[in-house]
Amino acid sequence: MDTTGVEELLMSMKKSWPGLFLHSANVANLSLRICNFLGLDELDRETMIAGALLHDVGKMFVKREIIDKPGPLTKGEWTELKEHPSRGASLIEEMGADTPLVEMVRYHHERWDGKGYEGLRGERIPLYARIIVLADSLDAMTSLRPYRAPLKVHEAIKEVHRCAGSQFDPKLVTALAADPFWRSDTYQNPARLERQLDKEKQWLVQLADSYATLSHPLVYAQSQWLDRLLTIFWQLKGCAKGARR
C-alpha cells in the first residue's frame, strides 16, 4: 500500500469525520514517540505512523449514533462496534497493505491478558499493535467522549501504569517509565512540566522539519498537545502562586 492510498483514506476521514481524524493523528504522534524512544529504525517508524493513522479507519463503517451514544450500548451495538478493527484491516488489505500494517489495524483492541476483541494474549499480539493499544488508550482517556468526561493527563498516565500486565504490555510500560513523558508527576509539578515543555517544543520543530508542512497530521497533533500542556502548566503556576499568598 503506497502513501497515496494512505493519504486518500485520511482525507476521506478528515472530510467526513474530523474528530476521528484528529484522534488518529494523536495516536500516530504518540506511537512515533514510543518508536523513537525504543530506538526502532526508520522503516519501522514509517510503518508505525501509517498503521496508527489508519488504526480506526474501520469506524467509518460503524453507525455514528453508536459511536456518539451517551449511554450503554446494546448487545447488537457492541457487536457492530467490535467489528471495526477487522473491517478496517480488510479494507487496507484489499488496497495492498503489507502484513504488519494490516495487523496493526486488526489487533489494536487486543489486551495483554487476552480479553481484547480477538482474544490474542501477551507477545502473540504484534509489537506494533501493542504500541498502538497504549497510544490509543492514552488519547482516548484524555479526550472528551459522549459517555464520559476526559481524565487529566496525570490521571491517565497513572491508569496506564495501573493497567500494565492486564491491558498493556508490562515490559513496554516499564521501559517507557524512564521517559518523563510517561510519568504522572511530570504533569503535576511546574518545574518538571516546564522541562517537558522544552522537549515538546523541540519535538514540534523536529516534526515540522521532517514533513515540511504545518498541515501534516503529526505536526497538527503535536501543536494541539503542546497547547494542552501549556494550559496545564499555567494552571499549576497559578495554583502555586495562590498557595504562597
Task: Give the per-residue pLDDT at 82.
Answer: 96
Same domain, 163 and 242: no
Q: What domain range is 226 assigned to?
A: 189-245
Stretch 29-42: mean pLDDT, rounded?
92
pLDDT over threshold 90, residue 242: no
CATH number at residue 126: 1.10.3210.10
Same domain, 115 and 221: no
pLDDT over threshold 90, residue 105: yes
Stretch 129-156: mean pLDDT, rounded?
95
Same domain, 161 and 235: no
Same domain, 127 and 108: yes
- Give how many domains the chain has, as a whole number: 2
CA distance 153 to 182: 10
Same domain, 24 and 110: yes
Stretch 83-104: mean pLDDT, rounded?
95
Same domain, 110 and 206: no
CA distance 40 to 34: 9
Conformation bin of residue 176: beta by default, left when phi > 0, alpha when psi is -120 to 50: alpha
Kindly report the pTM of this predicted structure.
0.94
Among residues 142, 166, 184, the one where a domain terminates is 184
pLDDT in tens, 167-183: 999 999 999 999 999 99
pLDDT over threshold 70, residue 5: yes
Same domain, 144 and 51: yes
Same domain, 138 and 47: yes
Stretch 217-229: mean pLDDT, rounded?
95
Q: Measure Cα distances from 175 to 52, 56, 153, 154, 199 in Å.
A: 20, 26, 19, 18, 19
Same domain, 124 and 223: no
